[in-house]
Structure 1
Amino acid sequence: MFTIEHDFDATVITLIDEGGSYLQEDVTISAFEDVVTLEQVDPRRDEVVRLTLSMGQVRDLAAALNLPEGSYRLARREG
């Protein structure tokens, strides 16, 4: 399950783990104009862990989800 919210400066997606016997904490993804952040509570430390990706890293990740094992460099489009 997931939710989508459109805030003033970001789109926020929350991924909610369902099913299975061992559930992970919710993941919150905030897409800003120039970066994307992923946040998840670490239950062992009881604090939020944040990962920040540049838009280039997000494009690479999206492409990587559909490619076989290997090393790649995406060609950047002009304009």
Structure 2
Amino acid sequence: MENATTSQGVTNEGFAKNTQAFKYEYGRLNSAEQKEVQRAFCKRYGVSPEAFRARCGGFTRVSDTELAWFEKRVATYFQN
């Protein structure tokens, strides 16, 4: 029973870190870029704008795959 609790805690911690990273990356963009990235994310993952906002707000978890894609996409705005 303890292992399940410990494992769950680690999982939730990972999801919280993903949400923080997702929000940080989103905040790096100006409003026009945010709209573009939001549209691309919604299209890529088949989610609504409301679901996207739920991820930003921490109400819905951000998967590792979604975060990796999002970080890569945001990075394209900051290439030299």
TM range (shorter): under 0.3
Please identify which structure carries the higher helix content: 2
Relative contact order (alpha carbons < 8 A, sep ≥ 6): 1 or 2 greater? Answer: 2
The structure with the largest alpha-carbon Rg is 1
Instruction: Tell me the TM-score normalized by structure 2.
Output: 0.27
Please identify which structure carries the higher strand content: 1
